[in-house]
Amino acid sequence: GLILDLRGNAGGDNEGMKELLGLFLIDDRGIFTVCGKDGVIAHRVKPFFRGPIVVIVDHNSASAAELCAAVLKEQLRDRVTVVGETTKKAVEMGKSVAVAGNCELWITSGTIETALHDKLEGGGVAPNFVVGLSAQNIADGNDTQLTAAREALQMLLREGK
């Protein structure tokens, strides 16, 4: 089994995310679709790892990291469990344009949705098991989310996933 920790991952690299997903998906099904000025582009990958996976996410998991968690949860639901907090809800493609006064304006250039047409922008990825992590937990050396992920992985392994 595998624990994939995407906490605090701001994402951003769709090519890297596609390569990562290619290690896990079972067939060549589409993983996500980009809808923008260049039309609709479906991205596909090929598999490698077929064991159980637990993905840890938090409120700072965004963009490609968020999409990665969503695709794994959606397409491998029988052997993937997501643990932690709802993700950042920030997935749309865009670009930053400099404006007066050292400010930037973010312009959306396309939307991204999963193969089952789930749009994550504004909604995020909800974990199967919601587990918070407080500053006190961290100070005490008690990573409650990692502990929950280990327990979820043991459960998947016992079930033969």
122 confidence band (pLDDT: 50, 70, 90): confident
The structure's pTM equals 0.79
pLDDT at 41: 52
Tell whether the model's pLDDT for residue 150 goes beyond 70. Answer: yes
pLDDT at 128: 96
* Distance between first and last Cα of the chain: 9
What is the arithmetic mean of pLDDT over 53-82? 91
Q: What percent of the chain has pLDDT over 70?
A: 82
Q: Two tokens at 84?
A: 């932690």
129 three-state secondary structure: strand
Interhelix angle for 63-75 vs 14-22, to 10°? 30
Calculate the average pLDDT of the chain. Answer: 83
Judge contact between 72 and 149, C-beta under 8 A. Answer: no
Q: Look at the block and give the residue holding tokens 């344009």.
A: 97
Residues pairing with 32 in the sheet: 43, 114
More confident residue, 100 or 57: 57
pLDDT tens profile 8-63: 998 876 777 777 777 777 654 556 666 655 555 555 555 567 889 999 999 999 88
pLDDT at 38: 56
Taking each continuous run of H as one helix and of E as one strand, the counts in the chain are 4, 8
**How far apart are alpha carbons 146 and 83 in whole angstroms?**
8
pLDDT at 119: 74
What DSSP state is assigned to residue 5?
Answer: E
More confident residue, 94 or 63: 63
pLDDT at 42: 52
More confident residue, 63 or 84: 84
